[in-house]
Chains A and B, each alone.
Chain A
């Protein structure tokens, strides 16, 4: 849909007594608020849904009472569930073995408000566009044990540098398929002393995955790192050496 507004150029000025027709008034109003219309169009168009960033933040510097803080992130969870992009967000409370997920149609049950006192243990936000401002919503989840960020394309090094808030509790972290993560962010993971499982498969910006795995294992001795083999990143060098050897024998002979 393309809306174009053209102001008619005429040598005869329109007399002020005749009012503009409704359609012209509407188009003129829309043209005055061009950027608002653009934003609305972007929000509603299904192709651009991925641009919505989940980033409301609550500042509860002193938790007034336990239920208030859990209410805060209940609201956060509600917002995350109900936003159009969060199809795959799911979470599990401690003491429960079921996961709360939205079904295929995007509907989710409100049962999770019954569990306000239970701290959140596992969060799976894979495939969403969560970024480091959105991490503030999980800031009150002090007992978070598992965090899955598989395929989150807005998770970058700054996001990883903020994960130190979970340093006492986080045991499993899945970072596979995040295109923005590089070594600069992975070196901030040494805060997570309790980390037991780390998944680093398919990180395109990490140049030497094998070397990074070795260095991370030195820094996090109890952590088991999956998704990366020790000799990844070395093959390019070996191929270069082979091709050099071939070309030198070719020119020598």
Chain B
């Protein structure tokens, strides 16, 4: 396999011995771009999480070509993919220890990224990582929670420090400390980077290790069902996915890919993919009726230009009102946004930007916190999807109890990029080792959804 720019040219040498039963070799290749007829693991979704799982699966296989991995991505241009539309931040300031460990492990991975993802004779990976840290600001109400979170974060190994309003004013004189009771500042392993470089690095390395890539849409699963009685003699039916139907772009032609394991890493569309497998369509008040609680939520991101704005020391500022802002480049540009309330969630049919949202909601809060932003103008804006977990806004990592071979790595609710290397490793351990080995993320499995016990994260942006 040779990797040339962004295209993969597969030069196959046809030897008679390759035409043995069980091989892929076809005498007539009619449609280019069809996926192979058989794969061990099919990963639905070619974003940063999907490629991270593919990379770690290949890295953990003990024999060469031991696992055949296929990554199926709907859109080759990644025009609506959450990965590339992400603001690109990474932080360890969470309240849930599992989230902190995921981010810390991902930062470790990014620190030595060229050891992990370096390909011979190709350029080294350049993430353009800005080590500026996150600054969380809390009011009187939230100061207690921030202190508790600080203890959890320090215990988990994150390098965070608490600052009083006076210290904040001394460190960042451009900040208005009115209403600030406490601030939490990340000193190491926090900042922002370029998500497209990470995605391409993972993709390039995974393809060089032999992962198959297919551009097509998963339109259905063929599964076999078998029922078993429970202790109180109810019949429970379990599914096992046998074939994944992958439809080619702009065509009705589809290829059923016979597979052993399916990984749902489809991001904002994971709920739809789960529906295709029949999850959530059982009789009412049974386990089979519980759908996967992941849905797309649209978030706006605005690029601001302010020549007198804060300088090189600008951290990723997150106010207690929810508005966030970070520096972009060296030319006085900034990126800002805000998560809307439940009632004013925008329509997710398209990715059109509402500029009034900035004028009405973001700008007053931002100008109050950073007075320099009173005279700023919006240079441009974009919108992207969060794969929002409506249950408790934390990721779902694990096997579904009712579909015996479907793993989920979804529902990151805005943290997918920063947790993707560690989440990919965790899922590869689940698949190949049968359980978590490096990080114990069993609290993030499906049990909590079926038991209706939300594992809440208190600091979401």
Contact with B along A197-220 (1 / 0, CB 8 A): 000000000001001100110110
- Interface membership of B111, Cβ < 8 A: yes
Q: B330 near A215 (CB under 8 angstroms)?
A: yes
Contacts of B330 in A (CB 8 A): 183, 208, 211-212, 215
Assuming the contacts A158-B131, A183-B130, A211-B330, asked whether A219 and B111 have C-beta atoms less than 8 A apart, the reply is: no
Q: How far is the CA of A138 from the CA of B191 in the complex (A)?
A: 24
Q: Is the CB of A164 within 8 A of B313?
A: no
Whether the Cβ atoms of A164 and B312 lie closer than 8 Å is: no
Check: A157 CB closer than 8 A to any chain B CB.
yes
Least CB distance, B308 to chain A, in whole angstroms: 11
Nearest chain B CB to A222's CB is how many angstroms away?
Answer: 14
Is A72 engaged at the interface, CB distance under 8 Å to the other chain? no
B129 within 8 A of A: yes
> In residues 107-152 of chain B, which contact A (Cβ within 8 Å)?
111, 128-133
How far is it, in angstroms, between the C-alpha of A230 and the C-alpha of B248 when the chains are bound?
55
- A157 smallest CB distance to B (angstroms): 6
Closest to B313 in A: A190
Chain B residues near A196: list those with CB within 8 A.
none
A182 CB within 8 Å of chain B: yes
User: Restricting to B137-190, which residues have a CB under 8 Å from any CB of A?
Assistant: 187-189
Given A161-B188, A191-B187, A208-B330, the answer on whether A185 and B131 have CB atoms closer than 8 Å is yes
In the complex, which residues of chain B have a beta carbon less than 8 angstroms from the beta carbon of A77? none
| Interface assignment of B76: CB less than 8 Å from any CB of chain A | no
Count residues of chain A with CB under 8 A from any CB of chain B. 23
Chain B interface mostly helix, strand, loop or mixed?
Answer: loop
Distance, CA A219 to CA B174, complexed state (A): 11
Q: Would you call the interface of chain A mostly helix, strand, loop, or mixed?
A: helix
With contacts A164-B187, A208-B330, A212-B330 taken as known, whether A187 is within 8 angstroms of B129 at the C-beta atoms is no
| B364 touches A (CB below 8 Å) | no
Q: Does A153 contact B (CB under 8 A)?
A: no
Query: By the criterion CB–CB under 8 Å, are B131 and A157 in contact?
Result: yes
User: Is A160 interfacial (CB-CB < 8 Å)?
Assistant: yes
Is B33 in contact with chain A by the CB < 8 A criterion? Answer: no
With A158-B111, A183-B330 given, is the CB distance from A219 to B128 under 8 Å? no
Closest residue on chain B to residue A205 by CB atoms: B126
Q: Which of A182, A187, A208, A211 is in CB contact (< 8 Å) with B132?
A: A187
Bitwise interface map of A from 122 to 138 toward B, beta carbon under 8 Å scored 1, else 0: 00000000001000000
In the docked arrangement, what's the CA distance between A164 and B186, Å? 11
Contact A184 B313 (CB under 8 A): no
Report which residue of A158, A191, A212, A216 has the largest number of chain B beta carbons within 10 angstroms of its beta carbon: A158
Per-residue B-contact encoding for A102-134, CB less than 8 Å = 1, 0 else: 000000000000000000000000000000100
CA distance A158 to B193 in the complex (A): 13
Q: Looking across the interface, which residue of chain A has its beta carbon closest to that of B161?
A: A164
Q: How far is the CA of A230 from the CA of B61 in the complex (A)?
A: 53
Q: Does B282 contact A (CB under 8 A)?
A: no
Residue of B nearest to A158 (CB): B111
B311 an interface residue at 8 Å Cβ cutoff? yes
Partner of A218 from the list B111, B187, B311 (CB cut-off 8 Å) is: B311
Complex partner residue of A219 from B131, B187, B312, CB under 8 angstroms: B312
Tell me how far the C-beta of B90 lies from the nearest C-beta in chain A, rounded to whole angstroms: 12
For the complex, give the distance between the alpha carbons of A190 and B172 in Å.
10
Q: Which residues of B contact A211 (CB under 8 A)?
A: 330
Do A215 and B312 touch across chains, with their CB atoms under 8 A apart?
Answer: yes
B191 and A184 contact, CB distance less than 8 A: yes
Q: Which of B130, B187, B193 contacts A187 (CB 8 A)?
A: B130
B134 to chain A, nearest CB (A): 13
Q: Mark A155-198, 1 if CB is under 8 A from B, else 0.
A: 00110111010000000000000000011111110110000000
Whether B311 pairs with A215 at a CB distance below 8 angstroms is: yes
Bound CA–CA A132/B188 (angstroms):
12
How close is B243's CB to chain A, nearest CB, in angstroms? 41
- Cβ–Cβ contact A184 & B129, under 8 A: yes
**Contact partners of A184 in chain B: CB under 8 A:** 128-131, 191, 193
Q: How far is the CA of A182 from the CA of B191 in the complex (A)?
A: 14
A190 touches which one: B111, B128, B312 (CB < 8 A)?
A: B312
Q: Which 5 A-B pairs have the closest CB atoms?
A: A161-B131, A190-B313, A188-B131, A215-B312, A184-B130
- Give B contacts to A, CB under 8 Å: 111, 128-133, 187-189, 191, 193, 311-313, 330
Q: Which residues of A contact B (CB under 8 A)?
A: 132, 157-158, 160-162, 164, 182-188, 190-191, 208, 211-212, 215-216, 218-219
Q: List 7 A-B contacts (CB under 8 A).
A: A162-B188, A164-B188, A186-B312, A187-B132, A188-B131, A218-B311, A218-B312
